[in-house]
Amino acid sequence: MSRLKKASKLVLIVIAVATLTFFAVRIYDSRQMAPLERWHKHVPVELTVSEMDAGDWAAFLKAEEKIFQTMRAEVTDKLPPEAQTPANRYYEGSVIYPPKFAQDWNRSYVLEPAGKPVGAVVLLHGLTDSPYSLRHIARRYAAAGFVVVAIRLPGHGTVPAGLSDVRWEDWMAATRLAVREAKRLTAPDAPLHLVGFSNGGALSVKYALDAMENPKLAPPDRLILLSPMIGITRFARLTGIAGMPAALPRFAKAAWLSIVPEFNPFKYNSFPVNGGRQSFRLTNVLQEQITAMANKDGLKRMPPILTFQSVLDFTVSTRAVISSLYAHLPENGSELVLFDVNRSVKFGPLLRRTAENALARTMPELPQPYGITIIGNDPAHPGETFAHIIDAGATSPRTVALDINYPPEIFSMSHVSIPFPLDDPLYGLRPDSSREDFGVQLGTMAPRGERGALVVNMDFLSRVASNPFFPFLIERIEAGIRDPKPKAQAGTPGPAKHYGKSQQPDADEVESYLAELTAETQATP
């Protein structure tokens, strides 16, 4: 018994030492951060869950207007001289000050078609993001006759401190409100689609599940997910603990994972601990609900899901998209589109083995009840890219050549790049600012120089922010728009067009590509 007591005591001592060490490191790291500015301290007052559930779109916009007015009074109008710089989005004289643009894309908006709406779509942006991120998809839906409702989720589009006092339940209430508005603007039987980016993808799936359990919620007919946050990194599990030192005023910066300049007009750069914590809570609840409902009825009423995901994603778990969502889907016409790494880039030993084998580590065993499309290329033909399409229930692909180049300066897609075309004026690799100019072109930056000289981490500038395969993404979404209320179907539709000259690749090349993939899968633990 004495040995057991000694062992228990030793365990408690180890835990105590580890905990104290963790807090000491957190406190030290936080004290090395930049000082907190007004936009890190002013917390906007958002509508509560009950207010959003009981309110309508007009009430939400009224409250949103008040939030922006208060933000101007408490942040912009009170900036100290040292914060009045061209690179500060909260400085009225800055070229990136959002209210000076023709449209402030931080705010909620509705797009209505020229004629009678044929359906409705609700757009849900990602964490730290704003309604700007899905505007290209919004315009395609509006052009096709859909009403578009793009809501600014609580805590977003204003100041980073907005995420320090928000809960995932607030985001869900905003999602329900946006759907109610979308249904109000269309006929009762009109199709309803949900498009979710990152954290918005988790909200889209959660709403679809809730609608299956609650007949008062309008069920969606299609889900389109872009880099969906079905699972996130293990560090998020510690975010609640990581912020605990902030309970003491002296260590207030411990409530933040990063404090950096705000030079992006439509996305936060600084990130509070609570933002990560709420995303983890949301994904945890979501995964439990998926499993419980799958065990109950196999998600038989789940609408078709079309997901676009990079095999390399530093923000969310690509594997969780498959294991925690797609593994539970029935054969209902769902499809998973994976963007492979650029295999024509000559990085040699600089590319990690885990990155090179990312596709092999991601691919599930075949056959599956959903379609899988792999967008990639072959080192032997660097100028060509292919869509390898594996239909639901199939074990071998049919392949279509795409007349889309994988830019040689990009070695992979990223989490943030999926919803933006190369000509996006803010994030595009080849921005078109002839119609819109947001004062900065973040997607073109490829800085070279000595380390430590910039005010932000190089990750902010080197991470690819636009998608060369955006035309393929839009075509696949438009295929769903043409079939807005689908019935369960086997197989996966292929590209409707080939983007110029296109031909079937040589069968031996396809066989070689797949054999290599299979070998990697077997060799990768």
Q: What's the pLDDT tens digit per position in 289-317? A: 999 999 998 799 999 999 999 999 988 88
pLDDT of residue 355: 79
Q: What is the Cα Rg of the chain in Å?
A: 24
Q: Is the pLDDT of residue 237 over 60?
A: no
- Does the pTM surpass 0.85? The reply is yes
Q: How confident is the model at residue 351 (pLDDT cuts 50, 70, 90)?
A: confident
Query: What's the whole-number mean pLDDT along residues 34-49?
Result: 94
Q: How confident is the model at residue 255 (pLDDT cuts 50, 70, 90)?
A: confident
Domain contains 512: yes
Domain contains 80: yes
pLDDT of residue 454: 67
pLDDT of residue 352: 80
Query: What's the whole-number mean pLDDT along residues 162-168?
Result: 97
pLDDT of residue 20: 52
pLDDT of residue 455: 63
The more confident residue out of 388 and 253 is 388
pLDDT of residue 297: 84
Domain contains 25: no
Q: Is 383 exposed, middle or buried (0-12, 13-18, 19+ CB in 10 A)?
A: exposed
| DSSP character at residue 512 | H
Phi, psi of 336 (to 5 degrees): -120, 120
Per-residue model confidence as pLDDT tens digits over 308-343: 999 999 888 899 999 999 999 999 999 999 999 998
Domain contains 27: no
Q: Among 142-151, 238-247, 406-415, 513-522, which stretch is predicted with the lowest mean pLDDT?
A: 513-522
Give the DSSP letter string of 474-489.
Answer: HHHHHHHHHSSSPPP-
Query: What's the whole-number mean pLDDT along residues 17-21?
Result: 51
Percentage of the chain beyond pLDDT 90 is 67
**Tokens coding 43:** 């917390």
Domain contains 17: no
Give the whole-angstrom CA distance, residue 493 versus residue 475: 11
Q: Is the pLDDT of residue 481 over 70?
A: yes
Per-residue model confidence as pLDDT tens digits over 404-415: 989 888 889 999
Q: How confident is the model at residue 448 (pLDDT cuts 50, 70, 90)?
A: low
Q: How confident is the model at residue 459 (pLDDT cuts 50, 70, 90)?
A: low
Domain contains 88: yes
pLDDT of residue 186: 97
pLDDT of residue 509: 44
pLDDT of residue 446: 73
Percentage of the chain beyond pLDDT 70 is 79
Q: How confident is the model at residue 172 (pLDDT cuts 50, 70, 90)?
A: very high
Give the DSSP letter string of 325-379.
Answer: TGGG--SSS-EEEEE---TT---GGGS-HHHHTHHHHHPPPS--SSEEEEEEEET
pLDDT of residue 248: 41
Per-residue model confidence as pLDDT tens digits over 352-369: 878 778 888 899 999 999
Domain contains 10: no
Give the whole-angstrom CA distance, residue 264 versus residue 254: 23
Give the whole-angstrom CA distance, residue 316 versus residue 312: 9
Q: How confident is the model at residue 456 (pLDDT cuts 50, 70, 90)?
A: low
The more confident residue out of 381 and 178 is 178
Could you tell me if 223 and 306 are in contact, meaning their C-beta atoms sit under 8 angstroms apart? yes
Overall number of domains in the chain:
1
pLDDT of residue 389: 96
Give the whole-angstrom CA distance, residue 482 versus residue 479: 5
Query: What's the whole-number mean pLDDT along residues 482-501?
Result: 59
pLDDT of residue 521: 38
Q: Is the pLDDT of residue 514 over 50?
A: no
Domain boundaries, position 263:
32-523
pLDDT of residue 1: 54
Query: What's the whole-number mean pLDDT along residues 66-81?
Result: 98
> What is the domain-level CATH number for residue 66?
3.40.50.1820
pLDDT of residue 384: 81
pLDDT of residue 378: 78
Could you tell me if 392 and 371 are in contact, meaning their C-beta atoms sit under 8 angstroms apart? yes
Domain contains 14: no
Q: Among 72-86, 215-229, 243-257, 319-333, which stretch is predicted with the lowest mean pLDDT?
A: 243-257
Query: What's the whole-number mean pLDDT along residues 255-274?
Result: 93
Q: Is 174 exposed, middle or buried (0-12, 13-18, 19+ CB in 10 A)?
A: buried
Q: What is the mean pLDDT of the chain?
A: 85
Q: Is the pLDDT of residue 8 over 70?
A: no
Could you tell me if 232 and 321 are in contact, meaning their C-beta atoms sit under 8 angstroms apart? no
pLDDT of residue 479: 96
Query: What's the whole-number mean pLDDT along residues 459-477?
Result: 90
